[in-house]
Amino acid sequence: MNVMSAPPRSDAPIRRPGRSRSRAELVIDAVLLLAVLAAIVLALTTHRFATVANAKAILTSASLVGIAALGLTLITIGGSAVSLAISPSVAAVGMIFLSAQSFGLVPALALAVLCGILITGVQGAIVGYAAANPVVLTIAASFAITGIATGVSGGSTVSPTGGGYDRLNATPGGVALSVYVLIGLALIVQWTLRRTGFGRSLYLIGENRRAARAAGLPVGRTTAVAWLAAGALFAVTAAFTAAFNTSANVNLGGTLTFDAIAAVLAGGTPIAGGRGSALRTLAGAVLIAAASDILLLRGSSTGVQILVKGVIVLVVVVLVHLRTEGSRA
């Protein structure tokens, strides 16, 4: 009898032929349907929400968060939970990007990506090879990155030394360039996860690191590569964010760390890893951006917007957990 190795677990649980849906799954689907209907009604009753200009604004906002969230998706799928150093990394790389504009746009972008890979890659190597706690490590990294950036810049705001950065603010077809880049990168990351040996290994490591190591998978190397790729994506976010703001300082990243985490979790990627999808993260980024836009148009404060994002993430995480547990029953 031939025994075939099981493929990586997909986002949706495999259902046995003829298996009836459990009551819990029906309740979850009903809750999701009601939530979607409520969101549609709220959106349509919000003044200026259903306009082309506002849709473009939502996509632009989602793109700046979404590119970073794609990088975080790789980290989370691999079982490394999250990185809490995204905002300071983006701020530091954004400052480097604008400072290097005198060399031209392409060299500045290359330098930014190289620095992003270095900053995040070092953290990934420590997590992958030394099995360091990623949360504790990235908290320490946040302080270190902010401290170094503040020391080098003297705490001042960095202005561009050339005008090449403005090309990143282009709007081909009336849509921000960052939106096209987000979609393209999402497709590349999705293909990498589903069609390459690296992607399959990353899923298996996230699902059971100990078993993956016992099976001979290169756990340390795969984890480090995932963080390296994430660093490159963080750098792309930094370049677009710095170009959009036309200046950069240590506060450039803002709440990006938490917005990226929200997009990944709202997209259904479990914090424990082993499952996830770049396309779902893309949807999560748009969902978070749309929710923020509705609240902004309704005059809600920043605190209320952050609260609603947290509630959305909490509801999605609970529903995903209940659906997973129900499918196993």
What was the pLDDT predicted at 112?
A: 97
Task: Tell me the per-residue pLDDT of 111-124, one tens digit each, with 9 for 90 and over.
Answer: 999 999 999 999 99
What was the pLDDT predicted at 316?
A: 79
Amino acid at 266: A
Burial label for 300, CB within 10 Å (0-12, 13-18, 19+), is middle
Q: What is the mean pLDDT of the chain?
A: 88
Shortest CA distance to 97 belongs to which of 196, 150, 164, 177? 164
- If you average pLDDT over residues 83-107, what whole number do you get? 96
Higher per-residue confidence, 291 vs 24: 291
Amino acid at 203: Y
Cα–Cα distance between 214 and 211 in angstroms, integer?
5
What was the pLDDT predicted at 328?
A: 56
Cα–Cα distance between 300 and 94 in angstroms, integer?
29
Q: What Rg value do the Cα atoms of the chain yield, rounded?
A: 20
- The fraction of the chain above a pLDDT of 90, given in percent, is 64
Higher per-residue confidence, 249 vs 266: 249
- If you average pLDDT over residues 4-31, what whole number do you get? 54
Question: Would you say the C-alpha torsion 321, 324, 325, 326 has a positive or negative sign?
Answer: positive
What was the pLDDT predicted at 299?
A: 87
Shortest CA distance to 256 belongs to which of 65, 117, 67, 91? 65
* Distances from the Cα of 137 to the Cα of 76, 209, 276, angstroms: 15, 19, 23
Domains of the chain, start order:
54-328 (1.10.3470)
Total number of residues shown for the chain: 329
Task: Tell me the per-residue pLDDT of 149-207, one tens digit each, with 9 for 90 and over.
Answer: 999 999 899 999 888 999 999 999 999 999 999 999 999 999 999 999 999 999 999 99
Cα–Cα distance between 78 and 208 in angstroms, integer?
9
What was the pLDDT predicted at 39?
A: 74
Encoded tokens for 89: 């990394």
Shortest CA distance to 94 belongs to which of 180, 154, 153? 153
The total of other beta-carbon atoms located within 10 Å of residue 40's CB is 10
Model confidence at 16: pLDDT above 60 = no
Model confidence at 284: pLDDT above 50 = yes
What was the pLDDT predicted at 10?
A: 45
What was the pLDDT predicted at 5?
A: 46
Burial label for 232, CB within 10 Å (0-12, 13-18, 19+), is middle
Task: Tell me the per-residue pLDDT of 300-323, one tens digit each, with 9 for 90 and over.
Answer: 888 888 888 888 888 877 877 776
Shortest CA distance to 73 belongs to which of 194, 176, 178? 194
Cα–Cα distance between 264 and 102 in angstroms, integer?
36
Task: Tell me the per-residue pLDDT of 229-254, one tens digit each, with 9 for 90 and over.
Answer: 999 999 999 999 999 999 999 999 99
Cα–Cα distance between 9 and 225 in angstroms, integer?
21
Cα–Cα distance between 201 and 187 in angstroms, integer?
19
Q: Which ranges constitute the DSSP H helices of 46-104?
A: 52-77, 86-99
| Confidence class for position 272, pLDDT limits 50, 70, 90 | confident
Q: At what angle do helices 177-195 and 278-297 cross, to 10 degrees?
A: 150
Amino acid at 303: G
What was the pLDDT predicted at 25?
A: 63
